[in-house]
């Protein structure tokens, strides 16, 4: 199973969960061996900046993020990797935001679509 979480709550997640940091920057307050850092599933700096500056809407952000994830080989490989991990474990995508909007929710939706297609 793939689910989500955010850094401030890391102590509340089961030790058996596989934690995957999907943010550009790994949180300074979490030991490096606690999570795998997967920058491939993080938004590009320009996209994140456009959103934070208010230059684009959330809908535009989501459209651009999905395009990036679906049109490059590396993210698709990562989806397969996560799918394989999730067969026997809980995989938790970790980021800074407590709740939506956050790209990890887009990733969860995309992963669900990816799994339904059987890719």
In a domain, 54, yes or no: yes
pLDDT tier, 118 (very low <50, low <70, confident <90, very high otherwise): low
In a domain, 108, yes or no: yes
In a domain, 8, yes or no: yes
In a domain, 24, yes or no: yes
Q: Which tens digit of pLDDT belongs to each residue from 53-99?
A: 999 999 999 999 999 888 876 888 888 899 899 999 999 999 998 88
Domain range enclosing 88: 2-114
Which pLDDT belongs to residue 71?
A: 85
SS3 label, residue 30: coil
In a domain, 29, yes or no: yes
Which pLDDT belongs to residue 18?
A: 96
Q: Which tens digit of pLDDT belongs to each residue from 30-51?
A: 999 999 999 999 999 999 999 9
Say how many domains are in the chain: 1
In a domain, 66, yes or no: yes
Which pLDDT belongs to residue 67?
A: 93
In a domain, 119, yes or no: no
Alpha carbon separation from 25 to 4, 8, 36, 55, 88 (Å, rounded): 17, 14, 12, 22, 28
Whether the predicted pLDDT of 119 surpasses 70:
no
In a domain, 20, yes or no: yes
Angle 8-35-98 from CA coordinates, rounded to 5°: 25
Q: What is the pTM of this model?
A: 0.90
pLDDT tier, 6 (very low <50, low <70, confident <90, very high otherwise): very high
Which pLDDT belongs to residue 100?
A: 86
């Amino acid at each position: 199973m793939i689910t989500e979480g955010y850094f401030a709550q890391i102590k509340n997640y089961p030790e058996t969960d596989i934690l995957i940091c999907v943010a550009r920057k790994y949180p300074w307050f979490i030991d490096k061996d606690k999570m795998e850092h997967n920058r491939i599933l993080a938004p590009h700096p320009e996209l994140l900046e456009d959103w934070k500056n208010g230059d684009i809407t959330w809908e535009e952000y989501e459209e651009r993020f999905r395009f990036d994830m679906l049109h490059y080989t590396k993210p698709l490989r990562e989806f397969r990797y996560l799918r394989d991990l999730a067969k026997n474990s809980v995989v938790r995508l970790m980021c800074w935001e407590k709740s939506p909007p956050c790209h990890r929710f887009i990733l969860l939706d995309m992963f669900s679509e990816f799994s339904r297609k059987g890719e």
